[in-house]
Chain A
């Protein structure tokens, strides 16, 4: 995979027998997935044809490979076309044929040859506990590898919630002292493509957008491309009309669930989750969790694992062991507080009555009721 990257994309396409027309079609599809103007497809196609394939170094740290699994299921553009036609994936320890020192040598070479120009893709969080010993490759900790790789990167694309926001390793109690990439690297542009895993087309689309334009796209406050993370799942959800009509599934097997009503009461985090699940969907636009009857977990948001139960409605109080306060827990607090209040009340009434007692006049109060 350590091909030189002097060959232009256009030449490669020609070699593979891909016509200019079909390449423009492909780029237009990708552009529309990114909600770019229709004309952008042709521009992208033209630029790509003129460009040498950019080098990409893909590092995996404390992760589950789910993100990569997702990436390999990209339909538009497909991972094959991406890897073979658009980018030069110079290092990915899972996908590459080479292993051991050969693989590490490929990485070092790519980073050296393309210093300042390669795209660094990171998936997984970076554990810093135990001197970084929780996650190593070739005897080096992920922190070291990341710092070294970040130096020559044009930009870092964090794929998945772990590298973007820390994800599950970062969740309480965070035993490995894991951190997102942004906590380790402060001096490089970072694009977060969050999700657990991210939508494959969002990963490839973001890479494509960056390599074709060479620019960091518009990002939201969590450094996610606005083109994919600009609106909430709730706002684009096909079940939204049921929310507006006040029709809700109350359990997973009730009439409402069968009728496909809104899953808000079952804990859906759609209203607070920004991602393209409701529009691009999954598996080539087949479906997405809400469509298959399960509430959104909010996996594209920071700290999604620590925000209470997946099945606790968004507006419900959130404390207690299960992340969802049970009426009993609430009753305990309310009861204890009311008891404390009653004690204060008894005390204040006692003080007032003591003062009344001291004065000798008959009570000034007007009588009520029967003796």
Chain B
């Protein structure tokens, strides 16, 4: 498939469709070239055009289409940097060595920056110059948002979440749905407690698609007997501002959770099985907040592994048979939560068969970075996720686990659209199903 970026017209929300080309270019330049800092400048300076990053990217590997080379996805911004903000910018301008970025060019790059990049960070591990390409793409997305070129789906969900706290309207508010899930699964949902050690939040994907995962979270917390609470005003874990490239909205959406955590004097903000929420809150929120967060941010997987280590959590043998595990990029490659899921699986005596590319080198499910929400990106996404599906098949595993709802949703979607046979399961749910009273000896005999 050789599909030049130009064949894709921009996919825009009505609110952003009417902007003039000049205002788009000015917005993009404001968002990127003029605000480029020393670190991103260094990354742009360092590229030697070796093209090796292509070999890390599942979009390129699946299509062999050169336009999906990761660093090419920021080409207009490289061009803008050289012309506008680099040390030799006056020379580039004076001799006309780099052309001005045009609105058309930006519109063409929407496909490359949003539809065909999960910001999974695999290219950042392959680059011989050590360029963090994914970080550059994140910045380019900010500029695209400022140019009014965020894809319609991401823009609208981000705007909605920014305004209401929910990415989309629901028949019943999430708060009520949360309580209903508790009632249905027979587990207590701690909600709006004035004070708690741990503040919980929930992926909207789980509320809408995987209520069992919500119940599992509540059940595990109940089992551990820790002081925790959900907060109605800060329920949703995902941050569509991050996907759409809006720094401002990302900040405001994160602030809802930060303020609620401060209000209930939480020592820990616990991120459920949601990789993107982990990146947004664990690594990016403090910067947007403007000071260090007054509480810890932890992924539920690493929290449970620590409880296990401390002896407060005992797990029974899980009868999953031959099992394999998908490492969510944001948690593992970009977040460093590498050993925790394996410690939990070991405690449940799971017969783990690692994927060919596992841990930090795991391929993305294809849905990350908001791609799973972009309708027109679906055909390319299905194509690029084949790599992952083949690796899963190759293990011959009966059970397929992961620890991110977005990944789970993406795999479930493949099940529907690609007639794929496997069902992705939640590691958290498996833990919840194999809890042992703390007095009993754990399945693994000793502590892991």
Contact = CB atoms under 8 A, between A and B. Distances in A.
B288 interface: yes
A343 to B, nearest CB: 12
A348 B31 contact: no
A359 B85 CA distance: 14
Contacts of B88: 348
Interface stretch (A75-83, A252-260, A363-371): A363-371
Contact of B87 (A345, A359, A364): A345
A349, A363, A366 pick with most chain B CB within 10 angstroms: A366
Label chain B's interface by main secondary structure: helix
B85, B90, B142 pick with most chain A CB within 10 angstroms: B85
A359 B34 contact: yes
A364 B89 contact: no
B245 to A, nearest CB: 10
A356 interface: yes
Interface string A271-314: 00000000000000000000000000000000000000000000
Contacts, number: 58
B189 to A, nearest CB: 36
A349 B42 CA distance: 13
A368 B36 CA distance: 13
Nearest to A341: B87
A345 to B, nearest CB: 6
A246 interface: no
A355 interface: yes
Interface string B133-150: 001001100110010000
Contact of A361 (B35, B37, B139, B287): B35
B34 A366 contact: no
Interface residues of B, number: 28
Contacts of A361: 30-31, 35, 146, 247-248
A364 B142 contact: yes
Given A345-B87, A352-B89, A364 B287 contact: no
A365 B36 contact: yes
B411 interface: no
Contacts of B138: 366
B87 A348 contact: yes
Given A345-B87, A348-B89, A359-B30, A364 B35 contact: yes
Given A348-B87, A361-B30, A361-B247, A356 B35 contact: yes
Interface string B19-50: 00000000000111011111110000000000
B35 A349 contact: no
Given A345-B87, A356-B35, A365 B248 contact: no
A344 B88 CA distance: 9
Nearest to B30: A359
Interface in B48-95: 84-90
B37, B139, B142 pick with most chain A CB within 10 angstroms: B37
B90 A364 contact: no
A364 B288 contact: no
Nearest to B283: A367
A139 interface: no
A349 B247 CA distance: 24
B90 A348 contact: yes
Interface in B209-252: 247-248, 251
Contacts of B135: 366
A362 interface: yes
Contacts of B37: 363-366
Given A349-B87, A356-B35, A359-B35, A365 B139 contact: yes
Given A352-B34, A355-B34, A365 B85 contact: no
Contacts of A344: 87
A313 to B, nearest CB: 34
Interface string A116-129: 00000000000000
Given A345-B87, A348-B89, A361-B248, A368 B39 contact: yes
Contacts of B84: 352
A106 to B, nearest CB: 72
Contacts of A365: 35-40, 139
A362 B247 CA distance: 8
B247 A364 contact: yes
A366 B85 contact: no
A349 B142 CA distance: 22
Contacts of B34: 352, 355-356, 359
Nearest to B143: A364
Contacts of A351: 89
A203 B127 CA distance: 67
Contacts of B35: 356, 359, 361, 363-365
A364 B248 contact: no
A364 B139 contact: yes
B307 to A, nearest CB: 29
Contacts of B87: 344-345, 348-349
Q: Give 10 closest A-B pairs by Cβ, nearest first.
A: A365-B37, A364-B35, A352-B85, A348-B87, A368-B39, A355-B34, A367-B287, A364-B142, A359-B30, A366-B135
16 contacts: A344-B87, A345-B87, A348-B86, A348-B87, A352-B89, A361-B31, A361-B35, A362-B247, A362-B248, A363-B35, A364-B37, A364-B139, A365-B35, A365-B38, A366-B40, A366-B138
Interface of B: 30-32, 34-40, 84-90, 135, 138-139, 142-143, 146, 247-248, 251, 287-288
